[in-house]
């Protein structure tokens, strides 16, 4: 089979995605990184608590995925968090280990002592957030930003200046603030945080370009899913030249959550032809591991990692599957299940089943039935699904089929 960016043996996306008219304005940097914030922002999801040893275990899982940077936490939250950050930094992982701090120089010292090589320093960009959320004068925020980023530089830490509520800040004001901190203080990179998830991909990408032009610094995207646009916004930022995407495992995080790692990585790979070097075949395993520790349930049709994502109930789709599964496995799904560690595609029995589903299960059980008998079985399957308000088991199907076939022989 000939390989095209949109059609490989592992996925089948849209050739429209790769038309020159579509791609000519893309400015993806040659190297892009995933900065995982599961252990800090992800844990801010209500009622989620990761213990010290659990954070270490999650960090190991993230490293096994090939995640480039791990934000191990915020030492100021608790002694347990500080200990976990130190533990993670001492593991010798391939991933770069970052700590998260407020604009307080003393917190820089703690993160350095924990053994991190990078630091993310947060403060609001918007005057209204500083005034109404913090109760500070603007001058105090600016002074704290400059002093803390200089302290991070002095400590030898890779310094990411994280501007809370960037997207609700007037653009020229935002640019002026960032330039002043870059000039009078220090930043190795700037994170533009869409803290409330309120920007559009077009706007976010536009401002990323403006920031790169003005600051000549790497830009990192940190988005939220309040309007469901976090993945699109993150990719728009990368298209515009941002080099780092902040994500969490399966979108864990504050309110509607952070941007899901799986969705960003798979979209870049299959829809844009950008391979970040992440071991996608472990996505389901890592997602289940983290969500179990977080005690968070996901919908069964969750993109990439949902439990029932590769179960086919519709009779029409079951027909596609039966005809194409041997030689054309991406005809009925956008990517093969093994690419993300999913269970194989299977036909299930329910209200929406059709004749192909009956063919499938009669073959599985070695039952011989006429077309009329299969239709009778199908009607009984649908009735049973209505009664149960659920799928049928293979044993329930077998009982129905045997009852129908027994009547036919009388």
Write out pLDDT tens, residues 54-111: 999 999 999 999 999 999 999 999 999 999 999 999 999 999 999 999 999 999 999 9
- pTM score, whole prediction: 0.96
Examine the pLDDT at 336 and tell me if it is beyond 60. yes
The residues spanned by each domain of the chain are 15-294, 311-409
- Nearest alpha-carbon partner for 234 in 243, 248, 249, 223: 223
Measured CA to CA in angstroms, residue 390 lies from 125, 378, 381, 386, 387 at distances of 50, 15, 11, 7, 8
What's the pLDDT score for residue 3? Answer: 75
Residue 2 has pLDDT above 70, yes or no: no
pLDDT at 243 over 70: yes
pLDDT at 407: 85
For the domain 15-294, what is the CATH superfamily, name and number?
A: Aldolase class I (3.20.20.70)
- Residue of 232, 238, 222 lying closest to 121 (CA atoms): 222
The CA distance from 240 to 263, in Å, is 19
How confident is the prediction for the chain on average, in pLDDT?
96
Q: State which H helix or E strand residue 121 sits in.
A: strand 118-124
What is the maximum span of the chain, computed from C-alpha positions, in angstroms? Answer: 92
Express each pLDDT in 323-335 by its tens digit.
999 999 999 999 9
């Amino acid at each position: 089979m000939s390989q095209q960016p949109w059609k490989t043996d592992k996925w089948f996306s849209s050739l429209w995605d790769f038309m020159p008219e579509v791609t000519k304005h893309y400015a993806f940097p040659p190297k892009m990184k995933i900065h995982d914030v599961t252990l800090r922002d992800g844990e801010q999801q209500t009622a989620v608590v990761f213990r010290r040893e659990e954070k270490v275990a999650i960090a190991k899982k993230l490293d096994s995925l090939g995640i480039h940077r791990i934000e191990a936490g915020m030492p100021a939250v608790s002694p347990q968090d500080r200990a976990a950050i130190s533990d993670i930094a001492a593991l010798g992982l391939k991933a770069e280990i970052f700590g998260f701090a407020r604009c307080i120089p003393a917190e820089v010292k703690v993160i350095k002592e924990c053994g991190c090589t990078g630091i993310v320093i947060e403060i609001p960009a918007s005057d209204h957030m500083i005034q109404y959320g913090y109760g500070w004068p603007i001058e105090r925020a600016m002074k704290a930003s400059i002093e803390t980023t200089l302290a991070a530089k002095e400590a030898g830490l890779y310094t990411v200046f994280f501007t809370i509520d960037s997207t609700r800040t007037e653009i020229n004001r935002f640019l002026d603030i960032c330039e002043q901190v870059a000039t009078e203080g220090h930043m190795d990179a700037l994170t533009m945080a869409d803290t409330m998830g309120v920007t559009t991909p077009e706007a976010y990408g536009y401002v990323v370009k403006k920031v790169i032009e003005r600051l000549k610094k790497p830009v990192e995207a940190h988005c939220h899913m309040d309007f469901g646009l976090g993945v699109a916004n993150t990719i728009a930022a990368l298209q515009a030249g941002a080099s780092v995407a902040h994500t969490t495992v399966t979108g864990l995080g504050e309110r509607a959550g952070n941007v899901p790692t799986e969705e960003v990585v798979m979209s870049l790979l299959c829809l844009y032809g950008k391979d970040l070097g992440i071991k996608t075949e472990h996505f389901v395993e890592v997602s289940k591991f983290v969500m179990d520790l977080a005690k968070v349930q996901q919908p069964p049709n969750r993109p990439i990692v949902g439990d029932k994502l590769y179960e086919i109930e519709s009779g029409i789709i079951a027909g596609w599957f039966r005809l194409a599964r041997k030689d054309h496995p991406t005809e009925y799904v956008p990517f093969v299940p093994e690419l993300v560690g999913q269970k194989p595609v299977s036909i299930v029995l329910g209200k929406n089943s059709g004749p192909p589903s009956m063919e499938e299960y009669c073959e599985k059980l070695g039952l011989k039935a006429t077309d009329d008998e299969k239709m009778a079985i199908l009607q009984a399957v649908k009735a049973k699904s209505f009664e149960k308000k659920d799928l049928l088991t293979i044993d329930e199907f077998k009982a129905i089929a045997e009852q129908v076939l027994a009547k036919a022989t009388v």
